[in-house]
Amino acid sequence: MWRAIREREPPDASQLNLVRYASTPAKEREGALADLRVATIGGAETILEEATVQSLRATLHGPLLCPGDAGYDEARKVWNGMIDRRPALIARCAGVADVIAAVKFARTQQVLVSVRGGGHNAPGNAVCQGGLMIDLAGMRGVRVDPVRRTARAEGGATWADFDRETQVFGLATTGGSVSDTGIAGLTLGGGLGWLAGKHGLSCDNLRSIDVVTADGTMLIANADENADLFWGLRGGGGNFGVATSFEFQLHPVGPMLAGMVLYPFSKARQALTLYREFATSIPDEVNTIGGLLTSADGDPVVAIVVCCHASLEGAEERLRAIRIFGPPVADSIGPMPYRQVQTLLDAAAVRGRRNYIKTNMMQSISDGAIDTLVERFATIPSPYSFVFFQQLGNAANRIASATTAFSHRDALCEWGCQSSWLDPAADGVNIRWTRELSEAMSPFATGNDYVNQLGLETEEGSERIKAAFGVNHERLVA
């Protein structure tokens, strides 16, 4: 039900000004009755009386923003600069009580809802057009228990927030590879990251979640309480409610050997073949992302990024194969703190650029996949775009597909194309190029998307969305 609420596009997405406030000067608004036009769960529109909106405002501890209010435009911005949706209301929640109030309001008034965690999702699922956006950006607290090696983080925290607190104690858990990604969206969909070879996905490290379900009830979900819900929250995405806080298991994680090696594009096939061999033979302590990108000098290059959290002497040996191949154009591998590892790819994912992403899971990297990527990359329309393989990690693979709702346990990696550009006039060419690449790569992939990278139902179609949940779809629906 939640997904139905979240994914529904407005009846007419081009109708940007759904709210009367937007065209009403502030002075006129004061004291005057200004009703609010909102999108409903059913896809229609309804009018909310000013008094109804005011009652929600009075209940919330955090601000309730409408179009025209200071902070409204900033609050509706997400990582992908292409997303320009205008919620009728943004509830900037200050705590669980605000989330409960917002959910109950939406349910009573039948208002379309979206939930914003870190706001990093490429299709912009966090922002609805014309409805109520439940915004957790103000709920970013993280509390570490260094003795039990656990951390509890609020639903709006990013991995940068999380790692900052946990690393003070030399602890960490598997998080995303770009530091301003939200812990919420990433973990609910699975969570691929540098530590997954040793410790599994982010969702595998979850001990407990607090969730406000669609009827406004706060439930605790863990192995003992609401275990079925807990199962669904580990890979089922944001379909079951608003997750207000997450408790993770932490692990000792010290400085590690990590960095990026670049090879000339003329050796692209050999270097990606090396990546394949490396990815399929590494120990649990290593995880890797490989791909094709345009260097700062404007040259196409092959990049292999690695992270090895074995003891540093042992690590040198484990990474030798990729450092002696070449010679590389550049080799930035060296000892570094984990928080630095967690920002290695930040420069490739700058907030606010226009982005379009296609990905799919792969059980192996075939010669055909490598050839296709190399051939197509030669015509990539933007220097900010790149194609990649992101390995799941050995420990993530060892867990059975039915253990959590994340269903891609047999995949070696996710392949993907992150197309990024600046000029809105270039939207068409970049999106077309990415879709054509995705089509060309389909014979080499499983056909199952990673839930966290899926587009809207209007783009993907219901069959593709179903496939993303794989063998677990039926149980999730139930």
The contact set with ligand FAD (CB under 6 A) reads 6, 78-79, 114-122, 125-126, 136, 155, 176-178, 181-182, 184-186, 188-193, 238, 242-243, 349, 452-453
CB 255 → ligand FAD: shortest distance, Å? 21
Q: Report how far apart the first and last C-alpha atoms of the chain are (Å, whole number).
A: 11
Which residue, 144 or 178, is less far from ligand FAD as judged by CB?
178
Nearer to ligand FAD, 118 or 197 (CB): 118
CB of 184 to ligand FAD, least distance (A): 3
State the sign of the Cα–Cα–Cα–Cα dihedral 441, 203, 119, 102: positive
Contact (Cβ atoms closer than 8 angstroms) between residue 374 and residue 324: no
Q: Which is nearer to ligand FAD, 159 or 377 (CB)?
A: 159
* Closer Cβ to ligand FAD, 60 or 122, answer by number: 122
| Cβ atoms 369, 441 nearer than 8 A | yes
For ligand FAD, give the closer residue by CB, 6 or 199: 6
C-beta of 266: minimal distance to ligand FAD in Å?
28
Minimum distance, C-beta of residue 133 to ligand FAD, in the bound complex (Å): 9
388: amino acid identity, one letter: F
Q: How far is the CB of 177 from ligand FAD (least distance, A)?
A: 3
Considering beta carbons, is residue 226 or 453 the nearer one to ligand FAD? 453
Radius of gyration for the chain, computed over Cα atoms and rounded to the nearest angstrom: 22
The least distance separating ligand FAD from the CB of residue 101, rounded to whole angstroms, comes to 16
**Toward ligand FAD, which CB reaches closer, 448 or 453?**
453
Minimum distance from residue 349 beta carbon to ligand FAD (Å): 3
Contact 159, 342 (CB under 8 A): yes
Residue closer to ligand FAD, measured from CB, 176 or 470: 176
190 or 232: CB nearest ligand FAD: 190
Which string of DSSP letters, residue by residue, matches 354-368? Answer: EEEEEEEEESS--HH
In whole angstroms, the minimum distance from the beta carbon of 420 to ligand FAD comes to 9
The minimum distance between CB 286 and ligand FAD, in angstroms, equals: 16
What is the C-alpha to C-alpha distance for residues 92 and 66, in angstroms, rounded to an integer? 11
Q: Which is nearer to ligand FAD, 10 or 185 (CB)?
A: 185
The answer to whether the beta carbons of residues 77 and 126 sit under 8 Å apart is no
CA distance 5 to 220: 22
How near is the Cβ of 33 to ligand FAD at its closest, in Å? 32
